[in-house]
Amino acid sequence: MKLSVLIPVYNEAATIEHVVERVRAVRVPVEVIVVDDASRDGSGDVLERLRQAGRLDVLERHPVNRGKGAAIRAGISRATGDVVVIQDADLEYDPIDLPALMQPILDGKADAVYGSRFQGGPHRVLYFWHSVGNRLLTLLSNMFTNLNLTDMETCYKLVRADLLKRLPLTANRFGFEVEITARLAQAGARIWELPISYSGRTYAEGKKITWRDGLAALFHILRYNLFPPAGEWRRR
């Protein structure tokens, strides 16, 4: 079973090559798809070198910055694997966790697997209020979806490709995490959660999420859960 790893990139020249090599080292067949969302720090040059070296299976470039969600949707449209996962271009999530996260799907028990930063895996100690904010957003999302997730905002969401490709995803920026969770719940997907390691970055190291994104997530939780699009996409 092939895993398509989607890597949205925006100004990650310092880390993207290391991330790609970590993904390539995973002990499962992988397809590496990178979407450069109009980086301005030299990431494009690094990615072109990696493409020429055969380290990338797909490299797509956005002429203007469209946001993480838009980059992910572009990557989903190019994926040919059986399972799809998003890999941030920084060093916060370790691809070594991916084979274990795939297992419930391989066993036929799950349609999607979330890697939780709050289930006891090793993690770097950082911001108290970030963890509080993540837990509050997860709680509010769970109230609408009737799921019992511990980490709705995690980057590591592995989803069967056939299911993911028919979900009506529209979010352009960080609302993607809320939207995909709402759509999976509305589709009746079987979701598992497993612990992962997490090495969060400080703002000095390039972290991009701010309190404004948290406020936007509150709006997205209401929007995507209360107003799902019509259609037959809910049928598994």
Give 140's pLDDT tier (boundaries 50, 70, 90): very high
pLDDT in tens, 211-221: 576 688 888 99
CATH code, residues 3-226: 3.90.550.10
Give 174's pLDDT tier (boundaries 50, 70, 90): confident
Give 135's pLDDT tier (boundaries 50, 70, 90): confident
Asked if residues 152 and 177 have their Cβ atoms less than 8 Å apart, the reply is yes
Is residue 202 classed as helix, strand or coil in its secondary structure? coil
Q: Which two tokens stand for residue 13?
A: 């020249």
Give 58's pLDDT tier (boundaries 50, 70, 90): very high
Strand order in the sheet with 3-9: 58-61, 30-36, 3-9, 83-86, 157-160, 112-116, 191-195
Euclidean distance between CA atoms 201 and 217, whole angstroms: 20
pLDDT in tens, 184-193: 999 999 999 9
150-157: average pLDDT = 96
> What's the mean pLDDT when you consider all of the chain?
90
How far the first Cα of the chain sits from its last, in Å, is: 20
Q: Which of these ranges, 33-37, 55-59, 178-182, 202-206, has the smallest mean pLDDT? A: 202-206
Q: Show Cβ contacts of residue 167 under 8 Å, excluding neighbours closer than 6 positions.
A: 180, 183, 184, 187, 233
Asked if residues 199 and 119 have their Cβ atoms less than 8 Å apart, the reply is no
Whole-model pTM: value is 0.90
Q: Which of these ranges, 28-32, 109-113, 169-173, has the smallest mean pLDDT? A: 169-173
Q: Show Cβ contacts of residue 168 under 8 Å, excluding neighbours closer than 6 positions.
A: 183, 229, 231, 233
